[in-house]
């Protein structure tokens, strides 16, 4: 497994752990890309238009990824 594939698998694992909380609120998250430690995700469903989505993204998802996946430095939302 390459380093990028390994990081992608680790990121996906963290997103899978967080997914039930997003689904409970009618949303979801999709991994789009990882580039130079920046994880790009798309928030879907209710999360895509929720005013609290930035807080969810930065305080929830980004914090979990930085803590659990070596090399992740930031999260970015793509539309």
Determine the Cα–Cα distance for residues 34 and 31; give it in Å rounded to an integer: 8
pLDDT of residue 61: 94
Domain count, the chain: 1
- Greatest CA separation found in the chain? 38
**Measured distance CA(11)–CA(50) in Å, rounded:** 23
Domain that holds residue 22: 3-77
Mean pLDDT per 10-residue section of the chain, whose length is 79 residues? 83 96 92 96 87 85 96 94
Contact 11, 39 (CB under 8 A): yes
Q: Give the global pTM.
A: 0.88
**pLDDT at res. 56:** 83
CA 73 to chain CA centroid, nearest Å: 12
Read off the CATH number of the domain in which 37 is found. 3.30.300.130
Ramachandran angles phi, psi of 32, nearest 5°: -100, -45
């Amino acid at each position: 497994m390459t380093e990028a594939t390994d990081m992608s698998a680790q990121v996906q694992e963290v997103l899978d752990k967080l997914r039930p909380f997003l689904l409970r609120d009618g949303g979801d998250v999709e991994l789009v890309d990882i580039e130079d430690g920046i994880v790009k995700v798309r928030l879907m469903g209710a999360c895509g238009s929720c005013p609290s989505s930035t807080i969810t993204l930065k305080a929830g998802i980004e914090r979990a990824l930085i803590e659990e996946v070596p090399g992740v430095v930031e999260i970015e939302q793509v539309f």
